[in-house]
Amino acid sequence: MLIAHRIAFLIPLVVALVFAIALSATLGYLHVPIADVFVILWSKLISQAPPADLDPVASTVVADVRMPRILAAVLVGGLLGVSGAVFQAILLNPLADSYTLGISTGAAFGASLVIVLQIFGLSLPAGISIPIFAFVGGAATLAVVLFLAAGDRSLSSTSLILAGVIVSAILSAAIGFLKFLADEQVGLIIFWLMGSLAGAAWSNIGLLIPASLAGTLVAIYFSRDLNIMATGDRAATSLGINTVRLRTILLTVSTLMTALAVSVSGIIGFVGLIVPHMLRHIVGPDNRLLIPLSFFTGGLLLLIADTITRAILPVEVPIGVLTALLGGPFFCILFKRRQQHGKSDF
């Protein structure tokens, strides 16, 4: 029954995502017919030259400029969606996402540090150093949060959230100091912190695909345990689940997913908050269905937002700004509903 339920939701969502990818590839300064897009992508997939009757400029634009950015939007949105679903399940809080624990801020600090070091003349390859430093920043933030919350041996949600708020505040101040050090070139950090997929390349896709696949599969593997943990730590422990071990594993995996997403796109907020919460109202709280749907829905949502800012708006707005403008009111409404109707939907 569950498999049929998954298929009933997944197939239409996957079809919609494929259509959105193809449609997005047609939009931009140079319009390319959707039929030509499929021909170009098929030629790229089988490593053959596009047909001679196709415009070579259109082939280059679609295959080497638009598609890396489109796929990066899908994969980054998927990573943020899955990590948000996991964070909400672990913390039993529909307002939780990677920002609640300061993970995104830590990854942003690591990447900003690379930019400042480059400004001061330290030679570092940006394509490699930014992902590495963002990864280390996110992982180090998680380690500090776990250390601060370790006084509570059960790693309760309250302890983790409070530790995340404390660390995030410190890192925000540290990022402000890096902006001060950057002086006239502070725009490099500010633009990156606002989020953008303009610099996405095929090398980024090579990193995002295995991370998305591995992280999502790990989350799905533990989805049944997450369902049981929603009944409370005492009940989960009585059923043989090591809640501390489960939280540590999934927090680590979700942190790595978030750090990699931030290293490619900068800070893109609210995707990890909106997507799981919206899906929970549509398909229910079962994480076995919620987690895979969060990947595809997160990818579709971020792709739509990036297409709007890239091809529809007269000026390209940083995608992090757009998602914040859309997600901020949603967050406010969700917060007021929680105050009026109780704690959560779990």
Residue type, 119: I
Whether residue 195 is contained in a domain is answered as yes
Residue 309 lies in a domain: yes
The answer to whether residue 291 is domain-embedded is yes
Residue 147 confidence (pLDDT): 86
Q: Average pLDDT in the 83-104 region?
A: 84
What residue numbers bound the domain in which 126 lies? Answer: 67-341
Q: How confident is the model at residue 2 (pLDDT cuts 50, 70, 90)?
A: low
Asked if the structure places residue 159 within a domain, the reply is yes
Number of domains in the chain: 1
- 221 pLDDT tier (thresholds 50, 70, 90): very high
Task: Give the mean model confidence (pLDDT) for residues 324-338.
Answer: 74
Q: How is residue 322 written in tokens?
A: 């757009």
Confidence of residue 267 (pLDDT cuts 50, 70, 90): confident
Percent of the chain with pLDDT over 90: 26
172 or 231, greater pLDDT: 172
Supply the pLDDT for residue 39. 87
Structural contact between residues 249 and 121, judged by C-beta atoms closer than 8 angstroms: no
Average pLDDT, the chain: 84
- pLDDT recorded at residue 24: 92
Q: Is 187 exposed, middle or buried (0-12, 13-18, 19+ CB in 10 A)?
A: exposed
Report the 10 Å Cβ neighbour count for 83.
34
Residue 153 pLDDT:
61
Is the confidence at residue 128, as pLDDT, over 90?
no
The CATH number of whichever domain residue 181 belongs to comes to 1.10.3470.10
Is residue 263 in some structural domain? yes
Q: Per the domain annotation, does 110 fall within a domain?
A: yes
Write down the pTM of the prediction.
0.88
| Per-residue pLDDT tens over the stretch 54-86 | 888 888 888 888 999 999 999 999 999 999 999
Question: Which pLDDT score, from 0 to 100, does residue 126 have?
Answer: 59
pLDDT (tens digit per residue) in 18-32: 999 989 999 888 888
Burial annotation 56-74 (CB, 10 A radius, 16+ → b, else e): eebbebbbeebbbbbbbbb
Identify whether 51 is part of a domain. Answer: no
Those residues with Cβ within 8 angstroms of residue 303's Cβ, 6 or more apart along the chain or in another chain: 17, 20, 21, 24, 70, 73, 74, 77
Residue 288 lies in a domain: yes
